[in-house]
């Protein structure tokens, strides 16, 4: 699996510089946690998953020790890359998770904040796009978003965040959908995006589940098939709208 990742795919290109050398090391027999520790410093030290004490909450352990238990699989591979690419945001999510666990216990009902953290950490994405695209996405008006406004996507930038989402994309399929943060993100360098996001990760914002769905393979250039208008006639993937959602804050 390590040698089959398509680093030229649009969803993996921003991750290639860090991710490809790590994947090559693991494919050659190195443990994932060791390979992750060899690239640019992250705010955590990756360690074997067995280091996590029985009964200890994973999120609390990371915050208390600065160590991230890691298994040799794609899920933890992309989680490790996310720690390298988005250190401030990953740290902030970890702090929020650990605070919720300390207040409510790890076995209690997760609650809206922990639920939202999990959704974004696993499946989140960020979008910089013209207002017209945002309005169409929020209205679930897929034909307008991807067909009528297709030329505007040349001005759009998508930045994936969720490590489970990146894992799914190792086996691309039409139904893969991201939870996009419902705020216009100025997508430039990775450090800029990380700083922007970390400053906005608060319990109150997350409790409101500020996400909207984005079927990734509807994005022009992300698959050949979406050149055909009929691609968007699939109601299983491109579900109709009807939700009265607020317009995004474009500032």
CA atoms within 13 A on the CB side of 138: 20
Please write the tens of the pLDDT for every residue from 78-110: 999 999 999 999 999 999 999 998 888 766 567
Would residue 240 count as lying in a domain?
no
Inside any domain, residue 6: no
Residue 65 sits in the same domain as residue 131: no
**Domain annotation covers residue 226:** yes
Q: What is the pLDDT of residue 251?
A: 36
On whether both 134 and 63 belong to a single domain, the answer is no
Structure tokens belonging to residue 50: 């067995």
Q: Is the pLDDT of residue 20 over 70?
A: yes
- Domain check: are 41 and 109 in the same one? yes
Q: 145 is in which domain, residue-wise?
A: 121-233
Its pTM stands at 0.92
Q: Which of 81, 113, 145 is the last residue of a domain?
A: 113
79 and 159 together in one domain: no
Domain count, the chain: 2
Does the pLDDT of residue 157 top 50, yes or no?
yes
In a domain, 247, yes or no: no
Domain closes at, from 87, 113, 139: 113
Mean pLDDT of 59-69: 95
Q: How many CA atoms lie within 13 A of 136 on its CB side?
A: 20
């Amino acid at each position: 699996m390590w040698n089959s990742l398509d680093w030229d795919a649009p969803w993996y290109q921003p991750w290639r510089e860090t991710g490809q050398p790590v994947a090559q090391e693991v494919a050659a027999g190195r443990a994932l946690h060791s390979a992750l520790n060899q690239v640019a410093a992250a705010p955590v030290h990756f360690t074997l998953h067995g280091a996590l004490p029985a009964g200890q909450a994973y999120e609390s352990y990371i915050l208390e020790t600065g160590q991230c238990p890691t298994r040799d699989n794609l899920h933890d591979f992309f989680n490790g890359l996310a720690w390298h690419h988005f250190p401030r945001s990953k740290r902030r999510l970890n702090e929020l998770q650990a605070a919720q666990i300390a207040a409510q216990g790890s076995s209690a009902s997760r609650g809206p904040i922990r639920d939202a953290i999990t959704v974004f950490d696993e499946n989140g994405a960020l979008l910089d796009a013209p207002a017209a695209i945002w309005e169409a996405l929020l209205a679930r008006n897929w034909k307008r978003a991807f067909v009528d406004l297709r030329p505007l996507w040349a001005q759009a930038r998508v930045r994936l965040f969720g490590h489970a989402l990146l894992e799914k994309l190792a086996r691309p399929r039409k139904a893969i959908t991201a939870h996009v943060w419902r705020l216009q993100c100025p997508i430039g360098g990775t450090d800029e995006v990380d700083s922007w996001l970390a400053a906005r990760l608060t319990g109150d914002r997350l409790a409101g589940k500020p996400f909207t769905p984005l079927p990734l393979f509807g994005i022009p250039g992300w698959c050949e098939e979406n050149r055909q208008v009929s691609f968007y006639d699939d109601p299983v993937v491109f579900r109709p709208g009807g939700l009265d959602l607020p317009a995004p804050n474009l500032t």
